[in-house]
A and B are shown apart, each in its own frame.
Chain A
Amino acid sequence: MAKEYDTVIGLEVHVELDTKTKIFCGCSTAFGAEPNTHTCPVCTGMPGSLPVLNKQVVEYAISVGLATNCRITGFSKFDRKNYFYPDNPQNYQISQLYLPICTNGFVEITGEDGNNKKIGIHEIHMEEDAGKLIHDEWEDCSYVDYNRSGVPLIEIVSEPDMRSADEVIAYLTKLRMIIQYLGASDCKLNEGSMRADVNLSVREAGSETFGTRTEMKNLNSFKAIRRAIENERERQIDIIEAGEKVIQETRRWDDNKEYSYPMRSKEDAKDYRYFPEPDLPPVVVSEQWIEEIRSRQPEFRDEKMARYIREFDIPEYDADIITSSKKMADIFEATVGEGANPKKVSNYLMGETMRLLKILEKEPEDIHFSPENLARLIKLTDDQVINSSVAKEVFEKMFEEDVNPEEYVEIHGLKQNNDVEGLKEIIKQVITENPKSVEDYHSGKEKALGFLVGQTMKATRGKANPEMIHLLLKELL
């Protein structure tokens, strides 16, 4: 009979902080620039260059630490982590090993059993990101772009407190929401502004000692994380069942092939020779500074939900969904701020927006229509300039390209036809052409009326006001 196994998981989560400049130099962190155009001697490791710490990075790290119940380190230092790789221009990464900025925190999730569960945070430290390697398809070489080199990161190291993929995803979702609410990062897994490495081991159910763990890298979505966890659990159980030993190693997940392989090399000694960074003085965080940052912490989800229900009079159900993402909450408030009816805004976000995100496999953070345009669209329907089916079409366009609905409706001639006399003519025509339905209506079949409304809409190419058609049809019949 097969043994039962428990899975033990800890995460190392890297989050790119949303600062304007890099951690140690005044280069822009903006995405999408031409290769190496956001670089300087510091972030390309030129001889004689020296790092100077971006204060905002420390403040973001502290604010994430406070929001995850961490102890903030009063006297914190940077260390050098030495390893050779071309994406790392100095061949050492400035990071924190011995005295990280935050330690000993936790976040609460809903555990496997449905009860609240604390996931411990061992530490949060600050470090610099690496550059990007681009591989040449044709020639035997790669290219380095240092635009991302020196972009600030925090690494959030959890305790090995998770026991399943569900818990891992609950933890990541919670962490992401906290950081998004803080405005410290957009935390997009697919774009790499949030990256999770999974440390996983298995042990016989009930055992108190940990098994040998592996570290899994290259997980770019929740789906990949789930698959990789399940795959790695099975792989380790197979090894143990075969009487062999799990090797402690780093593995790379290939989500297309749904398997992982070891990232081993005899040139990779894994001996990082950490030592205190002599070019950076320590960071001293006073109680006063902590209090200043605490007082600037934004409204978190629970407070926001309560306020939405109170202030905007929307149902709890709506508030819950809208506040599940900082981005959605921001759009909601901004759109309401433009004068739109809160419930109508909420309907758009919970309905069409969620539907389209799901179809396109996107996250709320990917929304790029503006609150102004959503407010305009709602106003167009309120004023009966367009009908609801046109509104749906315009919204889809807005979701794709953030078009201005007023202009779009104008250009594409989508205004609702409110010309009563003209409409009457069309309806008369429809009545003449559909004697069977007219007869059915008169014999009490209400459905027939719907058919006639539809025919009229078709004849007006969707531009007529359906309520008006309804009234006029009844009158003319």
Chain B
Amino acid sequence: MTTPADGPENSGSGGTVASEFASVAAAVDATANGPRLRLEDLRTGKVRFLDALELETIVWLPDGHLTQLLDPSADRWREGPG
């Protein structure tokens, strides 16, 4: 869902985390009823907001679980219904 808050002009202070593989801008967004982290994949423009409980969950995610999500076939480049 695209909303006015998706625009970078509504983002608070933040920065870019980049490597040769990916480039993501991160900022604390203040346009909703409470603060949330705004992440933007700078290569595609895709935006995701994460709230505090989601961020805490990510902090506590075991490395192995995170590695599973990094498998290109896990979600983004998954083919077929499987």
Partners in one complex: no
